[in-house]
């Protein structure tokens, strides 16, 4: 291969020495040590449509000259598919567009990559990240190369009717194909993401979740009894489809609150409840439906969104949306949810594990774990001269903030019937469905694509 490259560069140099130098520079970026076996269409397109324009962003003439020089080299090497990328009308249009509007150029680059068919598509099982590890980078490159081969064989025909579903089916099959050890590329990407998630220096509280690493990598399928667990969520969506009356400050109307509590047998203080604030179960359900964008406020009514309509009609998707939402809120709220789920998952069945201390609530245990991991919230400022008693009531302490967030997660688990036992003394346990739910929550948070390192 190197001999072929050397011969082609020598021939190009005889024709245009500057073009040969430019092509050699571009090829060194594309294929280190001039190893053409590592070359693929995805890499060539990215180089011509993004990397070279970025490198020569202040010299439009050099930008065009570099791409054309690389195309001449590919012609001499008889790599005609790659040569066509360099000389296509779309490439020329894109390079000129960069001169006028770089943002528009990037948008066109992304569109051309997608239309080419070799850009690995996002799948329900895997959304590609922008900050990736070596395993994911390799899996994405191998998928792109496999897509290129499928296109050349006619199995995928970009631009033709039905090509996108065909591309997704091919990518899924390729990513889930097991190797000799029984692990697929998807398995390895998930493992890399979970380990990076657990090791994040920005989230030291996750160190306590390492005993669950195997379960978090594997994830959990939707259980058969998921319908019973999410029944309260579906009921609220049913009511929202007709429109739920809200109070002036946005709470669900007292009549609906009392009806739901009676329907699902929820105890409240006082009983019957006077408002949504008396029913922690409804507070939690309302919050999670808002977080998953299934409902929205319209004036004095709570209404179903389009996403909410789809979730209402599909119990499996509603379960998956709930598990995806709980640990994807960000900040200390997410840390509190992760910590509580970890405590519940690592607790022994009799509640005698390391976290199950009599007289210590789950909220206190989670607050202590987060504090020990280094989390310190900023307390609100206090107005000068404020009376001490009023100050004590108005200013939340760090512990109060964390415990309130942990309790909110616990309320959701209770509303869905996923926990049993006494929370106040650390004797609460997850049901079988609750363990599946908790693992799914942590799994989806850990395998989600990272946007930043």
pLDDT value of position 362: 86
Number of CB atoms found within 10 A of residue 168's CB? 16
Contact between 328 and 448 (Cβ < 8 Å): yes
d(CA 169, CA 180): 22
Kindly report the pTM of this predicted structure.
0.85
- Confidence (pLDDT) at 450: 78
pLDDT of residue 199: 95
Phi (first) and psi of residue 252, to 5 degrees: -65, 140
Contact 1, 47 (CB under 8 A): no
Long-range contacts of 3-9 (CB under 8 A, 24+ apart): 4/36, 4/77, 5/34, 5/36, 5/77, 6/34, 8/73, 8/76, 8/77, 9/73
Domain residue extents for the chain: 2-116, 204-374+391-453
pLDDT for the residue 395: 39
What is the per-residue pLDDT for 359? Answer: 64
- CA angle, 84 then 88 then 93, to 5°: 155
Distance of CA 171 to the CA centre of its chain: 19
Instruction: Give pLDDT tens digits along the chain (453 positions).
Output: 788 999 999 999 999 999 999 999 889 888 877 778 889 999 999 999 999 999 888 888 899 999 999 999 999 999 999 999 999 999 999 999 999 999 999 999 999 999 999 999 999 999 999 888 999 999 999 999 999 999 999 999 999 999 999 999 999 999 999 999 999 999 999 999 999 999 998 899 999 999 999 999 999 999 999 999 999 999 999 999 999 999 999 999 999 999 999 999 999 988 899 999 999 999 999 999 999 999 999 999 999 999 999 999 999 999 999 999 999 888 888 999 999 999 999 986 654 455 444 568 888 888 888 888 877 655 555 554 455 454 444 335 666 777 888 889 999 999 999 999 887 777 889 999 999 999 999 999 999 997 654
Q: State whether residue 162 is helix, strand or coil.
A: coil
Confidence at residue 46, expressed as pLDDT on a 0 to 100 scale: 95
Which pLDDT score, from 0 to 100, does residue 381 have? 54
* Contact status, residue 353 vs residue 346, Cβ threshold 8 Å: yes
Q: Which helix (H) or strand (E) holds 261?
A: helix 254-264
Number of Cβ atoms within 10 Å of the Cβ of 176: 14
Backbone angles phi, psi at 374, to 5 degrees: 110, 5
């Amino acid at each position: 291969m190197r001999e072929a490259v050397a011969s082609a560069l020598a021939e190009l140099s005889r024709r245009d020495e500057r073009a040969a130098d430019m092509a050699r520079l571009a090829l060194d970026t594309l294929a280190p040590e001039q190893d053409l076996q590592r070359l693929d269409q995805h890499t060539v397109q990215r180089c011509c449509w993004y990397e070279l324009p970025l490198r020569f962003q202040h010299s439009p003439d050099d930008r065009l000259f570099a791409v054309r020089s690389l195309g001449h080299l590919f012609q001499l090497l008889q790599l005609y598919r790659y040569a066509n990328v360099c000389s296509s009308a779309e490439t020329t249009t894109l390079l000129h567009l960069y001169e006028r509007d770089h943002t528009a150029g990037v948008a066109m680059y992304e569109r051309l990559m997608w239309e080419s068919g070799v850009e690995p598509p996002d799948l329900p099982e895997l959304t590609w990240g922008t900050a990736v590890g070596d395993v994911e980078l390799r899996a994405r490159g191998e998928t792109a190369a496999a897509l290129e081969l499928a296109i050349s064989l006619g199995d995928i025909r970009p631009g033709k009717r039905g090509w996108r579903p065909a591309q997704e089916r091919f990518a899924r099959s390729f990513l889930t194909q097991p190797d000799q050890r029984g692990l697929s590329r998807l398995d390895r990407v998930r493992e890399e993401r979970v380990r990076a998630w657990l090791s994040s220096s920005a989230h030291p509280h996750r160190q306590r979740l390492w005993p669950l690493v195997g379960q978090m990598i594997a994830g959990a399928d939707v259980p058969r009894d998921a319908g019973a667990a999410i029944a309260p969520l579906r009921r609220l969506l049913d009511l929202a489809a007709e429109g739920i009356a809200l109070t002036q400050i946005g709470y669900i109307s007292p009549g609906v609150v009392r009806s739901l509590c009676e329907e699902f047998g929820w105890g409240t203080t006082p009983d019957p409840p006077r408002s949504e604030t008396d029913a922690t179960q409804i507070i939690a359900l309302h919050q999670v439906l808002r977080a998953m964008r299934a409902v929205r406020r319209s004036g004095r009514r709570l209404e179903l969104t389009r996403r909410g309509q789809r979730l209402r009609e599909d119990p499996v998707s509603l379960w998956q949306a709930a598990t995806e939402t709980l640990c994807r809120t960000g900040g200390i709220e997410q840390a509190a949810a992760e910590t509580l789920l970890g405590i519940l998952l690592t607790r022994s069945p009799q509640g005698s594990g390391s976290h199950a201390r009599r007289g210590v609530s789950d909220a206190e245990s989670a607050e202590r774990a987060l504090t020990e991991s280094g989390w310190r919230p900023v307390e609100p400022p206090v107005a000068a001269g404020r009376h001490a008693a009023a100050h004590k009531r108005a200013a939340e302490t760090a512990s109060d903030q964390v415990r309130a967030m942990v309790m909110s997660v616990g309320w959701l688990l209770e509303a869905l019937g996923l926990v049993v036992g006494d929370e106040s003394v650390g004797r609460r346990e997850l049901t079988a469905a609750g363990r599946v739910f908790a693992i799914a929550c942590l799994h989806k948070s850990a395998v989600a694509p990272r946007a930043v390192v």
